[in-house]
Chain A
Amino acid sequence: MAEGFRLRVCFRKAGRLRYLSHLETGRAWERAARRAGLPYAVTQGYNPRMKVAFGPALPVGTAGMREYLDITLTRFVPVAQVQEGLGASIAEELAPVECGYVSPAEPSLASRLTIAEYEVELERGVPPQELERSLDALMRTGGFETEHKGKQKFFDLAVALPKEPEVMSDAGRAAVRMWVRMGPHGSLRPETFMSAAIGPGRPVAVTRTELFIEDEQGWIRPL
């Protein structure tokens, strides 16, 4: 077993389980892999652990439609079989969406996934036109300052947002689709952006709908 088989799982974190933390979600997946009886590889040494790695953390309360994890298997198991096994071993709210194998040489998900797409839902009462105006106004400033853990932090929107946010409206309910660049120094949280645009305290539901790898050809999906 030189490198093993690197299985990539795309999964959801939805419904009530969006209230799980990154750690809790990770643990849930490790246990699902055990319940599914996958031939997972374990690390060597003192404290053997399953070889599994996750994409960028999703905050407590934020849902995800296409989150990722990589798990190293000691044996090849057909993709359909893996997906069925995992699907039957984890809560519906965390269900696997898609599975596939990637090269064991592939760099880690956390380092490769640099673009996140979000959908931010706003409470009723923000008319789409007004929302559009607020976002435009903020985008025109080029950046904004916000307080984070007692420190002032400046977000340069040209860097933080690789694409202009879009306003969507559906049956009177306004939503924003936005794309955020993630880096080693953290990323702009959609909640922070929205409160800079329309003021703090508006309850919002945030869903990370996609994660992308950014390379010369553009944005590509990890699977």
Chain B
Amino acid sequence: MNDVWERVEPLLRQVERPARYVDREWGVVRRPDAGYHVALMYPDTYEVGMANQALQVLAARLSTLDDVACERVFIPWVDMSAAMRAHEVPLFTLESCTPVAEMDILGITLPNELTYTNVLEALDLAGIPLRAHDRGETHPLVVGGGPCSHNPEPMAAFFDAILVGDGEEALLEIVASHRASMAAGLSREESVRALAGIDGVYVPSLYLVGDDGVVRPVDDAPARVTRRVLADLDTYVSPTCPVVPYADVVHDRATVEVLRGCSRGCRFCQAGMVYRPVRERPADSIVRDAIASLRCTGYEELSLTSLSTADHSQLEEVLRRLANRLEGTGTAISVPSLRLDSFTVPLARLLGDGRKAGLTFAPEAGSQRLRDAINKNITEEEILTAVDQAFTAGWRRVKLYFMIGLPTETDEDVTAIAALVERVFAAARAATPPGERGGLRVAVSVSTFVPKAHTPFQWDGQLPIEEVRRRQVMLRQAMPRKGVELSFHDAGSSLLEAVLAKGGREAAAGVEAAWHAGAVFDAWSEHFSLARWTEALASAGIDAAAYAAEARDRHGALPWDHIDSGLSPAFLRAERERADRAETTADCTFGDCTGCGVCPGLGVDVVVAGGERRG
């Protein structure tokens, strides 16, 4: 292992925020003499990556292995990467400042499509060939995972293997398999092939795309790769001694995952589909891990995280117990996003004791018809009641998330967003004492619908960008101005997201061309260029606008058919049809099974902390 700190250090005098690159945070585990080295990379800056809970979970799992070192890697900001290239300093890990190319395995999470070029940037800075088939015996295995693994094709060529689903157990199996292969003196090709024997691991080189667009194994690899799912979240503790950054990271706080999965069934939401079923952690474990984590990290804020924390069956009990334990310590408790219909007065009070960070709610659509079509099971009355309760309890800021371009959306649905915001503002105002109304703010954030794999809307096209822009203008004109801060996600980035979310293997050439043309940090608006991407995709034979807008045959082949998320295609099709009829489907966590196929298909059950299980 070569420590390159001596070469990194002189660069730190010329770059922004050098704390990103120096390591030495509290909680860092360093095992320089380990026999096997894992690098875990988040393909964005240190500040964004350090907020990622999945990496903390995986690092904590790896730390239970003897003789294994786990080191962090993030993407250097553009000033640093330029300095590194100018001085021929390779991408390095934080803990030991070792070139990433010297690691045994490089694990990369794929959080969203806009990080794809960052992956290539990292491989290039590391001196690792971009395409898996160009790598040699000494290069680390490059293994992907995370949300985008559910349609891995656009990135498949760059990975030796991709894990689909929960990593707690699978990552350890991958490490064990690779170590065994190394010990047996197997070649790179044989080591990679061995990984295909692990449930949930997709080895792209063992599959070919047919003329019909279907991805098929070349020999004895499984025809479909089935998502890994951890049956019981309580098998492992939530990481209680994660690394505590010095730099101001995105979510700079202690976190405890309280549940995984969400079966509310919003039809646009990939996470809600592919992380089923709901598995709650019991209140005792949550409180235990929260207190241990605050003690070990010294954080002043605790966040109870999940896709839908307010849905936890024991949340009030958890909050009450934590409030008792933390009294007088100046520790705030936060819940990332709240469902409007699970927002209650006691909940408002329990959270109101801490720092009054703004509330965020996601009605997603303005009209009841469209909310029914996307299965956002919430009424306007519930929204207004929740707002009334929050503002009565002392909140003064609320952020509302909406989407434009959802399937079946009409102009009336768009203007209905403005009308709803107006009523929300009125309800907030009425619940606020006259003297405090000056500080009242309703922030409205509007994104563009992106069709995602393994959702009922996976066959839908995205609204053409000109039409998205027309609806944005219409919404801006209809939106009340006073007290409302309206912001739109860039429609161009959403267009790219759609192309990559729907894309097949052919998109890889486009991603590579875009990176060659200078695309990096696409999620950062100052670095994103739609024109550059359109050109790069065109060079790979993809007409970005047409590709994003194209609707697919609901019985035809999809680029991700070989990835088995557990959802039955019949369920997804039926859900798509119900959307057209604006018919809703109930949440299965507390009601009856609605037949999505995940529980019987993957051999798991819904886990409710009260002990009751439904499957």
A residues adjacent to B (C-beta < 8 A): 15-17, 19-21, 23-25, 27-28, 30-35, 37, 42-43, 46-50, 60-61, 89-91, 93, 203
User: Chain A residues near B246 (CB, 8 Å)?
Assistant: 17, 20, 24-25, 27-28
Chain B: CB-nearest residue to A31: B298
When chains A and B are docked, how far (Å) is the Cα of A35 from the Cα of B296? Answer: 6
**Given A24-B247, A27-B246, does the pair A17, B22 have CB atoms closer than 8 Å?**
yes
**B283-316 interface bits toward A, Cβ cutoff 8 Å, 1 = contact, 0 = none:** 0000000000011111110000000000000000
**Given A21-B19, A24-B248, does the pair A91, B24 have CB atoms closer than 8 Å?**
yes
Q: Report the tally of A-B residue pairs with Cβ distances under 8 A.
A: 79
Q: Say yes or no for B23: interface residue by CB 8 A criterion.
A: yes
Are B297 and A31 closer than 8 Å at their CB atoms?
Answer: yes
B residues adjacent to A (C-beta < 8 A): 5, 9-10, 12-13, 17-19, 21-26, 244, 246-248, 294-300, 328-330, 355-356
**Given A24-B248, A31-B244, A42-B329, does the pair A50, B19 have CB atoms closer than 8 Å?**
no
User: Chain B residues near A50 (CB, 8 Å)?
Assistant: 300, 330
Chain B: CB-nearest residue to A37: B295
**Given A23-B248, A24-B247, does the pair A16, B25 have CB atoms closer than 8 Å?**
no
User: Chain B residues near A27 (CB, 8 Å)?
Assistant: 246, 248
Are B298 and A19 closer than 8 Å at their CB atoms?
Answer: no
Pick the contact of A42 from B9, B26, B244, B330 — CB < 8 Å? B330
Are B24 and A17 closer than 8 Å at their CB atoms?
Answer: yes
Are A30 and B356 closer than 8 Å at their CB atoms?
Answer: no
User: Chain B residues near A203 (CB, 8 Å)?
Assistant: 10, 13
Chain B: CB-nearest residue to A21: B19
A218 to chain B, nearest CB (A): 35
Are B24 and A93 closer than 8 Å at their CB atoms?
Answer: yes
When chains A and B are docked, how far (Å) is the Cα of A156 from the Cα of B355? Answer: 47
Pick the contact of A89 from B18, B298, B330 — CB < 8 Å? B298
Known: A15-B24, A46-B355, A91-B24. 10 other contacts (CB 8 A): A17-B24, A20-B19, A24-B246, A31-B26, A46-B356, A48-B330, A50-B300, A89-B26, A203-B10, A203-B13
When chains A and B are docked, how far (Å) is the Cα of A17 from the Cα of B297? Answer: 18
When chains A and B are docked, how far (Å) is the Cα of A28 from the Cα of B297? Answer: 10
Pick the contact of A30 from B9, B18, B298 — CB < 8 Å? B298
**Given A24-B19, A31-B26, A61-B18, does the pair A19, B295 have CB atoms closer than 8 Å?**
no
**Given A24-B19, A27-B246, A93-B24, does the pair A33, B13 have CB atoms closer than 8 Å?**
no
Are A32 and B298 closer than 8 Å at their CB atoms?
Answer: yes
When chains A and B are docked, how far (Å) is the Cα of A203 from the Cα of B12? Answer: 12
Are A16 and B23 closer than 8 Å at their CB atoms?
Answer: yes
When chains A and B are docked, how far (Å) is the Cα of A15 from the Cα of B24? Answer: 10
Most B-side CB within 10 Å, residue of A20, A30, A49, A90: A20
When chains A and B are docked, how far (Å) is the Cα of A20 from the Cα of B530? Answer: 36
User: Chain A residues near B297 (CB, 8 Å)?
Assistant: 31, 35
User: Chain A residues near B248 (CB, 8 Å)?
Assistant: 23-24, 27
User: Chain B residues near A49 (CB, 8 Å)?
Assistant: 300, 330
User: Chain A residues near B10 (CB, 8 Å)?
Assistant: 203
Closest 4 CB pairs of A and B: A31-B298, A34-B298, A35-B298, A42-B330
Are B12 and A35 closer than 8 Å at their CB atoms?
Answer: no
Are A61 and B19 closer than 8 Å at their CB atoms?
Answer: no
User: Chain A residues near B19 (CB, 8 Å)?
Assistant: 19-21, 24, 60
- 10 example contacts (A-B, Cβ-Cβ < 8 A) are as follows A17-B246, A23-B248, A24-B247, A28-B26, A32-B26, A32-B298, A35-B26, A46-B355, A47-B356, A49-B300
User: Chain A residues near B328 (CB, 8 Å)?
Assistant: 42
B354 to chain A, nearest CB (A): 9
User: Chain B residues near A16 (CB, 8 Å)?
Assistant: 5, 9, 22-24
Pick the contact of B13 from A32, A46, A61 — CB < 8 Å? A61
Are B25 and A91 closer than 8 Å at their CB atoms?
Answer: yes
User: Chain A residues near B356 (CB, 8 Å)?
Assistant: 46-47
When chains A and B are docked, how far (Å) is the Cα of A48 from the Cα of B13? Answer: 36
User: Chain A residues near B13 (CB, 8 Å)?
Assistant: 61, 203
User: Chain B residues near A93 (CB, 8 Å)?
Assistant: 24
Pick the contact of A34 from B5, B12, B17, B299 — CB < 8 Å? B299
Chain A: CB-nearest residue to B20: A19
Are A19 and B12 closer than 8 Å at their CB atoms?
Answer: yes
